Amino acid sequence: MSESTANIPDTLKGGHQTGEKPVILEAKEASKTYENASQKIAALQPINLQVREGEFVVFFGPSGCGKSTLLNLIAGFETPTTGEIALEGKPILKPGPDRLMLFQEHALFPWLNVMDNVIYGLKRHRKYRFKRKLRRQRARDLLKMVHLEEFEKASIHELSGGMKQRVALARALAPDPKVLLVDEPFPALDALVRAKLYAELQEILVSTHKTILSVTHDPHEAACLGDRVLVFTGRPGKIKTEIQVDLPRPRDINDPKVAEFAVRIMAELETEKKP
Amino acid sequence: MKRTNGTPSRVYVIGFYVLLFAVWQSLYSSGAIQEFLLPSPFQVAQSLWDIGQRGLLWPAIKATMVRMVIGFSVAAMIGLVIGLLMGMSRIVNSCLKSLFLGLQTLPTAAWVPVSLLIFGLKDAGIYFVIVMSAMPAVAIATSDGILQIPPMYIRAAKTLGTSPIAMPLTVILPAALPSIVTGIKLGWTLGWHGAVSAELIKSTVGLGYLLSYGRELNDAAQVIGIMMVTIMVGLLLDRFVFGLIQKRIRRRWGLEAGD
pLDDT, tens digit, 9 for 90 and up, residues B220-247 = 999 999 999 999 999 999 988 999 999 9
Q: What pLDDT, on the 0 to 100 scale, is given for residue B5?
A: 52
**Mean local confidence (pLDDT), B89-100:** 91
Q: What pLDDT, on the 0 to 100 scale, is given for residue B139?
A: 96
Range in A18-22, B17-21, B121-125 with the lowest mean pLDDT: A18-22
Q: What pLDDT, on the 0 to 100 scale, is given for residue A6?
A: 39
Question: Among partner residues B161, B251, B254, which is closest to A96 by beta-carbon distance?
Answer: B161
All residues of chain B having their beta carbon less than 8 Å from the beta carbon of residue A97 are 159-161
**Mean local confidence (pLDDT), A25-30:** 91
CA distance B174 to B195: 29
Among residues of chain B, what percentage have pLDDT more than 70?
96
Are A164 and A106 in contact by the 8 Å Cβ rule? The answer is yes
All residues of chain B having their beta carbon less than 8 Å from the beta carbon of residue A164 are none
Are A171 and A120 in contact by the 8 Å Cβ rule? The answer is yes
Domains of chain A: 16-98+178-273 (3.40.50.300), 108-176 (no CATH)
**Mean local confidence (pLDDT), A39-51:** 89
**Mean local confidence (pLDDT), B17-38:** 87
Q: Average model confidence (pLDDT) for chain A?
A: 84
Query: Which residue of A73, A78, A101 to mutate against B (max B Cβ within 10 Å)?
Result: A101
**Does B119 score more than 70 pLDDT?**
yes
Q: What pLDDT, on the 0 to 100 scale, is given for residue B236?
A: 92
Q: What pLDDT, on the 0 to 100 scale, is given for residue A19?
A: 53
For B210-222, letters b (16+ CB in 10 Å) and e give bbbbbeeeebbbb
CA Rg, chain A, in Å? Answer: 19
Q: What pLDDT, on the 0 to 100 scale, is given for residue A12?
A: 41
**Mean local confidence (pLDDT), A207-226:** 88
**Does A119 score more than 90 pLDDT?**
yes
Higher confidence at residue B29 or residue B7?
B29
Model confidence at B1, pLDDT cuts 50, 70, 90, reads: very low
ipTM for this model: 0.81
**Mean local confidence (pLDDT), B131-150:** 95
| B161/A97 Cβ within 8 A | yes
The alpha helices in B90-219, defined as continuous H runs, are 90-105, 111-119, 124-147, 151-159, 167, 173-175, 177-202, 207-216
CATH class of B41-252: mainly alpha
Residue-wise pLDDT for B151-184, tens only, equals 889 999 999 999 999 999 999 999 999 999 999 9
* Whole-Å CA distances, B63 to B37, B50, B58, B70, B202: 28, 19, 9, 11, 13
Range in A188-197, A262-271, B9-18, B77-86 with the lowest mean pLDDT: A188-197
| Nearest alpha-carbon partner for A188 in A170, A152, A164 | A164
Look up the pTM and report it: 0.81
Q: What pLDDT, on the 0 to 100 scale, is given for residue B116?
A: 92
**Does A7 score more than 80 pLDDT?**
no
Q: What pLDDT, on the 0 to 100 scale, is given for residue B145?
A: 95
Residue-wise pLDDT for A245-265, tens only, equals 998 888 888 889 989 999 999
**DSSP-assigned beta bridge partners for residue A42:** A33
Model confidence at A273, pLDDT cuts 50, 70, 90, reads: low
Residue ranges of domains in chain B: 1-33, 41-252
| Residue B240 C-alpha, separation from nearest chain A C-alpha, in angstroms | 22
Q: Average model confidence (pLDDT) for chain B?
A: 90
Question: Among partner residues B158, B160, B251, which is closest to A157 by beta-carbon distance?
Answer: B251
| Nearest alpha-carbon partner for B50 in B228, B231, B225 | B225
All residues of chain B having their beta carbon less than 8 Å from the beta carbon of residue A76 are 159
**Does A272 score more than 90 pLDDT?**
no
| A96/B175 Cβ within 8 A | no
Residue-wise pLDDT for A56-87, tens only, equals 999 998 887 889 899 999 999 999 999 999 99
**Mean local confidence (pLDDT), A115-131:** 89
**Mean local confidence (pLDDT), B24-35:** 85
Residue-wise pLDDT for A179-209, tens only, equals 999 888 766 677 787 777 778 778 877 777 8
All residues of chain A having their beta carbon less than 8 Å from the beta carbon of residue B252 are 110-111, 155-157
A250 preceded by cis ω (within 30°)? yes
CA distance B174 to B149: 10
* Whole-Å CA distances, A235 to A62, A240, A275: 10, 12, 15
